[in-house]
Structure formats: structure tokens, C-alpha cells
Amino acid sequence: MAKEKILIIIPAYNEEANIRNVILSLKKQDADFTCLVVNDGSKDNTQKEAESTGLATVIQLPSNLGIGGAVQTGFKYALYNNYDYAIQFDGDGQHLPSEIPKILEPLYKQECDSCIGSRFVVKTDGFQSTFMRRVGIRFFEFLNNLLIKQKITDSTSGFRAYNKQAIAFLAAHYPTDYPEPETIILLGKNNFTIKEVSVEMQERQGGHSSISGLKSAHYMIKVSLAILMTAQRAQLRR
């Protein structure tokens, strides 16, 4: 029996300080992982650092499309190359390759179509994000319960695994504005099953987050509106 093909989608924008170690740690975890770095129009040496490992396929986008466009590129690559599972994995060093088996196991058992690695299912010793972001995440949890009747504790987590059916759907319909929280609503509205498992994360290993301070409140308002708009869309999957 052929081993299942697993693609690690690594969206990266100006991650020259982190991307090499991210790739090396993933391949150390499982040499059979295919690492796909989608370089989202970086202005630094992200592409050079990723290619220098010799362990990753690197797609260079012609301009900065944002996280949505970068991750959707990964889904299209996964669909075209017939991968069984795709894992979204941040390029900033926040996610731990050792936690990947946890988010894959429910997919192997066919318990869900997508599994999210959550910092908040149970209390862990890992990085819990800033106070303002945790407030926003708790509010998104309320919206998820209201709109799709599913409790998702970590809507902004970018550490996720998907099966073939979800890959095919998201290759065509992945949100572009605020994809992590919007995707939860989109999948739920289209009868995909979502599960969360508890994982540990660490602080980004270099660079700076684009969402901090007062930007967190602004982000929460904009994401909430995007979620409500997504919830109004007609069902796409029959």
C-alpha cells in the first residue's frame, strides 16, 4: 500500500530569519513531508533562504497577494499533484512540527475533514497570544457557535490539516481577506466537519507580527464583518 502523500503549505512573507529552520525542522520530523514554501512577494531573502536548504519546493508569487492568496496557491498545488492531506504551517517558527501527528490523526480516522491545532482547548504551557488577541478569539468562538453551531476555540490558528475533499473545495473557494476565521464559517456552511485538538505553540522566532496593539481591535472588527458576510453566502457544496 502506497504511503499517503502529505503536503506542508508554508506561506511566507519576509521570513528570511525563520524559514530555513522551519523547513529543516519539518524534514527532521518526517523526511517524507513535501514542504511547499509560497513566497508571497517578500522583499527580503526569504526565497534564497528557502531554496538554499534544497529540501523545499518554492513558489515565488509575482506580488504580495496576502495570506489568503498564498495559502490558496498551496491548495491548488496540492490538488494538482494529488496529495492526500495538506497542512497549513506558518513560516515564522510559531508552530511545532512535533505537533503535526496530533492534527493528522483525526483525519486518518475519518473523524473530520479539517483539524485545527488549538492553543485553547486545554490550558498548555505554550504561547497563548496577547490579551487583546485572546479577547478577539473568544468573540470569534461566540460567532462560530451562533453561525455554524460548532465550538471552535482558536479561530485564528494557522496550524491546520485538511483531507482531499477539503483541499479540492478550498482550492476553488479559499477566502482572501481573513482566511483563518472565514474558512471555519465557509466549511461549516458547506457541511464539512471541523475538529480541534490541543497543541502547543511558541512565539514567532524572528520578525514582527502585523497585528499588535490597537491594530488588534481594528482587526477584530474587520474580521467579524467578514465572518458575517461569509455566513450570508449561498451554499457552494451540494
Higher pLDDT, 231 or 83: 83
How many structural domains comprise the chain? 1
| Mean pLDDT calculated for residue range 41-59 | 97
pTM of the predicted structure, to 2 decimals: 0.86
**The predicted structure's pLDDT at residue 123:** 66
Query: What range defines the domain where residue 16 resides?
Result: 6-231
| Mean pLDDT calculated for residue range 26-51 | 97
User: How do residues 8-35 score in pLDDT, each as one tens digit?
Assistant: 999 999 999 999 999 999 999 999 999 9
Angle between helices 179-189 and 131-148 (to 10 degrees): 10
**The predicted structure's pLDDT at residue 124:** 59
1, part of any domain: no
Q: How far apart are CA 25 and CA 101, in angstroms?
A: 14
User: How do residues 207-230 score in pLDDT, each as one tens digit?
Assistant: 555 555 446 667 777 877 777 778
**The predicted structure's pLDDT at residue 190:** 94
pLDDT band at 2 (very low <50, low <70, confident <90, very high): low
Contacts of 232 (CB under 8 A, 6+ apart): none
How far from 49 is each of 15, 61, 121, CA to CA, in Å? 9, 16, 35
Q: How far apart are CA 20 and CA 55, in angstroms?
A: 10
What is the CATH classification number for the domain harbouring 86? 3.90.550.10
Cα Rg of the chain (Å, integer): 17
User: How do residues 193-204 score in pLDDT, each as one tens digit?
Assistant: 999 999 999 876
237, part of any domain: no
User: How do residues 62-92 score in pLDDT, each as one tens digit?
Assistant: 999 999 999 999 999 999 999 999 999 999 9
**The predicted structure's pLDDT at residue 231:** 78
**Residue-wise DSSP of 102-146:** HHHHHHHTTS-SEEEEESSSS--SS----HHHHHHHHHHHHHHHH
236, part of any domain: no
204, part of any domain: yes
What percentage of residues in the chain have a pLDDT greater than 70?
A: 86
176, part of any domain: yes
**The predicted structure's pLDDT at residue 126:** 52
**The predicted structure's pLDDT at residue 218:** 73
101, part of any domain: yes
121, part of any domain: yes
**The predicted structure's pLDDT at residue 30:** 97
User: How do residues 152-189 score in pLDDT, each as one tens digit?
Assistant: 899 889 999 999 999 999 999 999 888 999 999 999 99
Average pLDDT over the chain, rounded to an integer: 88
84, part of any domain: yes
